Amino acid sequence: MDQIGIVYPAIAMFALSISIIFLLGISRFIAIQRRQVSIKYYRAYQEGGQPERLHILGRHVQNHFEVPPMFYAGVILTYVTASVTPLALGAAWSFVALRAVHTTIHLGSNNVSRRFFCFGLSLIALTVLWANLFITLLARGG
């Protein structure tokens, strides 16, 4: 199996994350320009407050630095150990797709039940990626 294929879901996940980070920066800049929030607020996040939309967006960006690092680690280890299988590829792409849906829900309707369900499914996809790595390595006697 072509091992490089596992890198593409990581690139897609990066694109999703960096897009959200840019969206947050632009949204904060606009909010400051419109005087919806004081620039002083961002010094220590203590003086005043920010609109709820910016809080949700900021929390969503933070979320991209919680579980996704385990995804990147799994992808890297799967690649360097030549453990890419169709199951690993499917799990990696599923994780990215579910995170994209999670983003859509969180920044759209923000239906907590749907968001949590999607998050849970993404954790299952991540677990499958890691389980595939572990089982593949065990099968080699490593």
26-76 pLDDT, tens digit each = 999 999 999 999 999 988 888 788 999 999 999 999 999 999 999 999 999
CB-based contact 125:74 (threshold 8 Å): no
User: Taking the mean position of all CA atoms in its chain, how far away is CA 120?
Assistant: 13
pTM here is: 0.93
Give helix 52-63 / helix 7-33 axis angle, nearest 10°: 160
What was the pLDDT predicted at 46? 81
How far apart CA 112 and CA 79 sit, in angstroms, is 34
pLDDT at position 43 is: 87
- Measured between alpha carbons, how far is 58 from 52 in angstroms, rounded to an integer? 10
pLDDT per position as a tens digit, 83-126: 999 999 999 999 999 999 999 999 999 999 999 999 999 999 99
- Span between the terminal Cα atoms of the chain, in Å: 19
pLDDT of residue 26: 98
Task: Classify residue 99 as exposed, middle or buried by CB count within 10 Å of its CB (0-12, 13-18, 19+).
Answer: buried
Q: Is the pLDDT at 142 greater than 70, yes or no?
A: no
